[in-house]
């Protein structure tokens, strides 16, 4: 749904002074690219940031003693240990295991929301590190933040680039390894997500609505805004394709999945007031963009829920031979402006 932030962006567009076009140092404020979608975030229920793979492992696994921060490996305990769930991670099992203390319901959208979860999403499991755990309302990307990287496996979110892949383990509640592998993701590999979890949007048009097998290349610039015959311009509609690929899909699933997708525009007024002038560039390490949440899509069910199902391909084959570890699912958001 569109939030009040979208109305504020429209008001900014309609009230910007057109006379700025005659001032060379300020004319770029009128550039239409400043006022389109610029970032997306992914999130889940607020309390989930202290459960799932966010929890510090307290069991012995693979014959090793448990190590604080999971020995720089991502570990999720599968509380549904019976077939066909062996190499999958089911958040519902964690929900049931901790039902007395864990409210796993995501916050449904309201027009005045300014973030995905209004309640705190600060992870309290990681206590002995130099940085301050973020409270953003969505998944952070602490991999690129040196003050938080030593607690990356607890704070969670997005996978490291392929050059720095990390192991993951799915264990049962006794510590027996059910599945394992090496994580590497697309968003950090292409420097598309900053430390606050804002994933850059690529301003691309003309793509077919079905992205197909080349989606990795097409989305290497970030989630894509596109138009095609499937989104008729005469109907004033546009599509936004979001694909958590490969290791990103695996880590997000192990940390509790995705229930929210947030869409953001630049808060031009706030940026100008802070002395940040266009043209604007993207820097994953030091991104100074100020964003305004304009749309929030929420699902009761986890979008990355999957399970083992024999030799079937797709989201029903666990992590050992899964669509999640290859291309990942494609979420297409359609916006109608009529």
Per cent of the chain over pLDDT 70 is 79
The number of C-alpha atoms within 13 Å of 251 and in the hemisphere containing its C-beta is 33
Distances in Å between the Cα of 171 and the Cα atoms of 57, 76, 279 are 10, 6, 48
Parallel/antiparallel/unpaired status of strands 177-183 and 166-171: antiparallel
Question: What span, in angstroms and rounded, lies between the C-alpha atoms of 59 and 20?
Answer: 63
Could you read off the pLDDT of 15-67 as tens digits, one per residue? Answer: 887 777 767 667 778 777 888 899 999 999 999 999 999 987 666 665 555 55
Question: For residues 201 and 315, what is the distance between their CA atoms, to the nearest angstrom?
Answer: 25
| Cα gap 100→122, rounded to integer Å | 20
The pLDDT tens digits for 251-309 are: 999 999 999 999 999 998 898 899 988 888 888 988 999 999 999 999 998 998 877 66
Q: How far is CA 65 from the centre of its chain?
A: 31
Name the nearest CA neighbour of 169 among 90, 87, 246. Answer: 87
């Amino acid at each position: 749904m569109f939030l009040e932030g979208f109305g504020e962006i429209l008001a900014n567009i309609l009230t910007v002074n057109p006379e700025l076009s005659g001032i060379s140092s300020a004319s770029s404020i009128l550039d239409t690219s400043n006022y389109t979608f610029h970032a997306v975030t992914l999130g889940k229920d607020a309390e989930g940031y202290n459960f799932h793979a966010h929890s510090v492992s307290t069991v012995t696994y693979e014959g090793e003693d448990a190590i604080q921060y999971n020995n720089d490996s991502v570990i999720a305990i599968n509380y549904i240990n019976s077939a066909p769930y062996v190499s999958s991670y089911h958040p519902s099992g964690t929900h049931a295991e901790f039902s007395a203390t864990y409210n796993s319901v995501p916050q449904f959208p309201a027009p005045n929301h300014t973030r995905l979860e209004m309640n705190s999403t600060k992870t309290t499991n990681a206590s002995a590190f130099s940085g301050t755990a973020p409270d953003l309302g969505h998944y952070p990307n602490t991999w690129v933040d040196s003050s938080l990287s030593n607690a990356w496996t607890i704070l969670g979110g997005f996978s490291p680039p392929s050059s720095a892949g990390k192991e993951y383990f799915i264990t049962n509640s006794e510590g027996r390894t059910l599945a394992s592998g090496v994580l590497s993701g697309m968003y950090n590999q292409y420097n598309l997500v900053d430390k606050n979890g804002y994933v850059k949007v690529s301003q691309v048009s003309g793509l077919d609505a079905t992205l197909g097998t080349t989606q990795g290349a097409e989305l290497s610039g970030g989630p894509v805004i596109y138009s095609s015959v499937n989104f008729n311009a005469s109907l004033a509609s546009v599509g936004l394709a979001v694909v958590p690929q490969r290791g990103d899909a695996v880590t997000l699933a192990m940390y509790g999945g995705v229930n929210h997708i947030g869409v953001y525009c630049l808060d031009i007024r706030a940026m100008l007031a802070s002395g940040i002038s266009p043209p604007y560039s993207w820097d994953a390490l030091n991104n100074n963009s100020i964003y305004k949440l304009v749309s929030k899509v929420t699902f009761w069910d986890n979008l990355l829920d999957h399970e083992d199902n024999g030799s079937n391909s797709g989201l029903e084959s666990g992590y050992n031979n899964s669509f999640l570890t290859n291309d990942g699912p494609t979420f297409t958001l359609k916006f109608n402006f009529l």
